[in-house]
Homo-oligomer: A and B are copies of this chain.
Amino acid sequence: MIRCIKCNDVSSISKAGKVDKKQRYFCKNCNIHFTIPEKREDLKNESEKKQNVTIKDIAEALQISFSTVSKALLDNPVINPETKKKVLNMAKKMNYQPNLNAKSLVKHSSNTIGIIIPSIISSSFYPEVLQGVQEILSEKKYNSIICLSHESYENEIANCNQLINNRVDGVLISITSKTVETAHINQFKEHNIPFVFINRAPETIEASRVTVNNYDAGCKAVEHLIEQGCTRIAHIAGPPNLIFSKERLKGYYDTLIKHKHTIDQSLIVYNDLYTDNSKECIEHLLNLKNKPDGIFVYSDFIGIELIIAAKERGIEIPSQLCVVGMGNNPVSAIIEPQLTTILGPTLEMGKIATELLIDEIEGKNQKITNRLLDVELIVRKSSLK
């Protein structure tokens, strides 16, 4: 026998489907739908699945309202310290874990940042950057979602959308070597999501960026090779559409010109990260009739390949060929001969970019920042004649 919860009538009641597994009723008099309130305990029998503890459960256990529980949990000063203590204890006792999805929904912010990087296995560069990022993140109590674009433009677009869907509070991004259009990145602006470029940035977008001084890297490398007496200096350059490649190349050019060397286009080759043509690049240079006596390679990884290939051909390093790499890959210090390299502060880069981003998220910094980090030449055997 069901009574209307409003008019208390019995005859006017009809069944009206089910809601949340409970019978729903309709009162013709009052024109309202209702269900018979049950205690949460009773439900447990129906659905065996153990539900997560919510603030409502804590409230019920303590016989107080759930908004009081919420306030206590948020350390709202208006709440009685006694009550707060009771709530905190009960939360612990019941093993309460707040639902961050619900919180994000009402707060319009997720306390999470997104990270888009091209790769995690091709070198130790991005792992080190990530390490720096994570250090700041855990210090500032932010979470992260990491996306790998695998140097694919399509993946990068998908990653951007995913991060928007997840309503991240901000994004750190290092673009792929294929990224030319940037509409997908500009989407973040439409959604009021701040973003900071790490290491690789497009020229066309106005946004903060943290990069190493690639121009200076090119200068330092070539300057050093010239000092060592090299006269035909080649360059294995990075993907041509990435700024860092262009800048290192410009440093290479300018330094050669400064020292009145002639520029020989056959001494410049470009690496494609997606197809990975590093072997071809190396072969091209080593097969030249008029061989180079110094090579600045934009990455240690390929520098190491170059050393191995040269040794196989009986080319003596450094007496016949000096090699300078970049990145300070751990291997560089181990191979024979040890590879001269240019060191950029990878861990620092991750840290600085993350701090910058969080400042933007928290409104502490509005203006666009362009951080250029210093590089350092580490001279080793591969370039010491």
Contact = CB atoms under 8 A, between A and B. Distances in A.
A146 interface: yes
Nearest to A122: B127
A97 interface: yes
A143 B143 contact: no
Given A127-B127, A334-B308, A148 B134 contact: yes
A161 interface: yes
A191 B97 contact: yes
A285 B148 CA distance: 42
Category for how many chain A residues contact B: 35 or more
B100 A167 contact: yes
A191 B128 contact: no
A120 B110 contact: no
A102 interface: yes
A190 B50 contact: yes
A105 interface: yes
A156 to B, nearest CB: 12
B121 A131 contact: yes
Contact of A105 (B49, B101, B191, B308): B101
A166 B121 contact: no
B95 A99 contact: no
A190 B105 contact: no
A166 B101 CA distance: 7
Contacts of A43: none
A102 B100 contact: no
A61 interface: no
A167 B52 CA distance: 10
Nearest to A335: B334
B143 A162 contact: yes
A175 interface: no
Nearest to A308: B334
A101 B128 CA distance: 30
A331 B339 CA distance: 13
A363 interface: no
A81 interface: no
Interface string A113-138: 00000001100100110110010001
List the 4 closest pairs (A to B, CB-CB), nearest first. Answer: A101-B104, A101-B101, A120-B127, A97-B164
Interface of A: 49-50, 52, 95, 97-102, 104-105, 110, 120-121, 124, 127-128, 130-131, 134, 138, 143-146, 148, 155, 161-162, 164-167, 187, 190-192, 304, 308, 330-331, 334-336
